[in-house]
C-alpha cells in the first residue's frame, strides 16, 4: 500500500500525519509526505525518517489585498507540481491534515481520481478543509462538534492521533525524570514550543503565592525564545535563583526553555496550564488531565478558543481568555482546584471521557479501507 500525506505549516497539522504514518509504515505501507521547503515540516518530517517532497503553497489572505493573486498563482503552481508527484508515486490513498499545503495536493489527487481523505483536528474547521470537503471521499474529525460543518454521509469522528508514549508513561517515571518530589502535587505549565509571554508573565506574578504552598511543585516550559526574558526579569527583581544548566529553580518552581520529554511531563502532572491547540488538548484528554486553558488569541478563526470551550463544556477544563490572564487570576484558580480534590477528580474523569486513545487506529483503518477501494 502506498500512501501520500499532505502535511505542513504548524505542528498541529504535521504531527498527526507523522503518528498515522508510523503505524502505516509498521504495517508495511510505503509513505511519502508533501509539504513546503519553508515550513516546519522541512525539518520535522525527515527527522522522523520519512521522505518529503515539496511544492509551492501559500496562505491565502482572508481580506482582499494584492497578495491574493500571488497566493492563487502559487496554489496553481503547487497543484501542478502535486500532480507530477502523485502520477510518479501512484498512491492508493492521498491524505491531507489541513493547512494551506493540503489544498493543492488534495485538489490534484481529486482531479486525477485518486481516493482522498482529510483530517480536521479542530472543533471549528479551517477554511482549507471546509472547501476540500466537497471533493474528498472521506472526512475524519477530531471533535464531535466539527461534524456539523461537513457532509454527514462521509464524516467520521476519529479523534486526534497522539503518540502512544503519551498514555504509556507512569507518574513515577515522569516525576523521577524531572527530579520532582513523588509526594507533592504537580502543576505543569506549557504553552507550546514557542511559549507564551502572557502565560510566562502570569506565572512569575503568581510565583509568591505558588511558592507559599509546601504541597505544590511547578514545572514550567517557558519557550526557547522567551526563556532569556524570564532569567533577566528574575535578576532585575533581585530574586535569588538556582541555575542548573537550562533550568531555573525558583522556590518550588522549575523553569525550562522547552520540554523534550512531554509524555513524562504530562504523566508527572496533576493539573496542566496550556493553550487550546488541538494536539495538546488531545494529549491532555488521553492522559485524563484537568486543564486550565489560555487559548492563543490570534489563531486562525479563533480555533483554539473553540477547542478550549469544548473541554470546558464537558467539565474537563477551565478557560481563561488571554487578555484576562494575570498572576492573581492564575494562582487563585490553581489553588481553588488543588484545594478541592473532588472537583479536580471530576475534571480528570471528564477529561478521560473526552480522550480518544485509539484515534490513530481509527484513522489507519479509514486509510486502509479507502486503499482497498482504489
Q: For residues 254 and 224, is the Cβ–Cβ distance under 8 A?
A: no
Task: Name the residue among 274, 302, 313 with its Cα closest to residue 194.
Answer: 274
Exposure b/e, 174-187, CB count within 10 A at least 16 = b: bbeebebeeebbbb
Residue 335: per-residue pLDDT? 97
Task: Encode pLDDT of 310-323 as tens digits.
Answer: 999 999 999 999 99
Q: Classify residue 152 as exposed, middle or buried by CB count within 10 Å of its CB (0-12, 13-18, 19+).
A: exposed
**Does 165-354 match 2-161+357-373 at the fold level?**
yes
- DSSP label at residue 196: -
Coil, strand, or helix at residue 206? helix
Residue 71: per-residue pLDDT? 60
| Predicted TM-score (pTM) of this structure | 0.92
Rg of the chain, C-alpha, whole Å: 21
- DSSP label at residue 50: -
Q: For residues 359 and 282, is the Cβ–Cβ distance under 8 A?
A: yes
| Count of other CB atoms within 10 angstroms of residue 266 | 27
- DSSP label at residue 9: S
CATH number of the 165-354 domain:
3.40.50.2000
Measured over the CA atoms of residue 345, residue 347, residue 350 and residue 352, the dihedral's sign is negative
Residue 215 Cα to chain centre, angstroms: 30
Cell digits of residue 367 = 486509510
The rounded distance, in Å, linking the Cα atoms of 263 and 81 is 38
CATH superfamily of 2-161+357-373: Glycogen Phosphorylase B; (3.40.50.2000)
Q: For residues 363 and 22, is the Cβ–Cβ distance under 8 A?
A: no
Which residues in the chain come in under a pLDDT of 50? none
Contacts of 329 (CB under 8 A, 6+ apart): 202, 320
Residue 69: per-residue pLDDT? 61
The rounded distance, in Å, linking the Cα atoms of 7 and 94 is 11
Q: For residues 108 and 116, is the Cβ–Cβ distance under 8 A?
A: no
Measured over the CA atoms of residue 305, residue 311, residue 312 and residue 317, the dihedral's sign is negative
Q: Cell 502506498, residue?
A: 2
Cell digits of residue 355 = 480522550
Residue 1: per-residue pLDDT? 96
Task: Encode pLDDT of 219-232 as tens digits.
Answer: 999 998 899 899 88
Residue 9: per-residue pLDDT? 84
The rounded distance, in Å, linking the Cα atoms of 33 and 56 is 14
The domain locations on the chain are: 2-161+357-373, 165-354
Residue 60: per-residue pLDDT? 58
Amino acid at each position: 500500500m502506498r500512501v501520500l500525506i499532505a502535511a505542513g505549516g504548524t505542528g498541529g497539522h504535521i504531527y498527526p500525519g507523522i503518528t498515522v504514518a508510523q503505524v502505516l509504515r509498521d504495517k508495511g505501507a510505503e509513505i511519502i509526505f508533501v509539504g513546503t521547503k519553508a515550513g516546519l515540516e522541512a525539518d520535522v518530517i525527515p527527522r522522523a525518517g520519512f521522505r518529503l517532497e515539496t511544492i509551492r503553497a501559500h496562505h491565502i489572505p482572508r481580506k482582499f489585498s494584492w497578495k491574493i493573486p500571488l497566493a492563487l498563482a502559487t496554489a496553481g503552481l503547487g497543484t501542478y507540481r502535486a500532480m507530477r508527484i502523485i502520477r510518479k508515486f501512484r498512491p492508493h490513498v492521498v491524505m491531507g491534515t489541513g493547512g494551506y499545503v493540503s489544498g493543492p495536493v488534495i485538489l490534484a489527487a481529486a482531479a486525477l481520481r485518486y481516493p482522498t481523505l482529510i483530517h480536521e483536528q479542530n472543533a471549528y474547521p479551517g477554511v482549507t478543509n471546509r472547501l476540500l470537503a466537497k471533493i474528498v471521499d472521506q472526512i475524519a474529525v477530531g471533535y464531535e462538534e466539527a461534524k456539523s460543518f461537513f457532509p454527514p454521509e462521509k464524516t467520521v469522528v476519529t479523534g486526534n492521533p497522539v503518540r502512544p508514549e503519551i498514555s504509556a508513561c507512569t507518574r513515577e517515571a515522569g516525576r523521577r525524570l524531572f527530579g520532582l518530589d513523588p509526594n507533592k502535587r504537580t502543576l505543569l505549565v506549557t504553552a507550546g514550543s514557542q511559549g507564551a509571554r502572557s502565560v510566562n508573565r502570569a506565572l512569575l506574578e503568581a510565583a509568591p503565592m505558588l511558592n507559599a504552598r509546601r504541597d505544590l511543585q511547578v514545572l514550567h516550559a517557558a519557550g526557547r525564545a522567551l526563556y532569556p526574558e524570564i532569567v533577566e526579569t528574575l535578576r532585575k527583581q533581585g530574586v535569588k535563583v538556582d541555575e542548573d544548566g537550562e533550568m531555573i529553580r525558583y522556590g518550588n518552581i522549575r523553569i525550562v526553555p522547552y520540554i523534550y520529554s512531554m509524555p513524562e511531563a504530562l504523566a508527572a502532572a496533576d493539573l496542566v496550564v496550556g493553550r487550546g491547540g488541538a494536539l495538546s488538548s488531545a494529549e491532555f484528554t488521553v492522559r485524563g488531565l484537568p486543564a486550565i486553558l489560555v487559548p492563543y488569541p490570534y489563531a486562525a478563526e479563533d480555533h483554539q478558543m473553540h477547542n478550549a470551550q469544548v473541554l470546558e463544556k464537558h467539565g474537563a477544563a477551565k478557560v481563561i481568555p488571554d487578555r484576562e490572564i494575570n498572576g492573581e487570576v492564575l494562582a487563585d484558580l490553581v489553588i481553588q482546584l488543588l484545594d478541592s480534590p473532588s472537583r479536580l477528580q471530576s475534571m480528570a474523569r471528564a477529561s478521560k471521557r473526552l480522550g480518544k486513545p485509539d484515534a490513530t487506529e481509527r484513522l489507519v483503518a479509514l486509510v486502509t479501507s479507502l486503499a482497498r477501494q482504489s
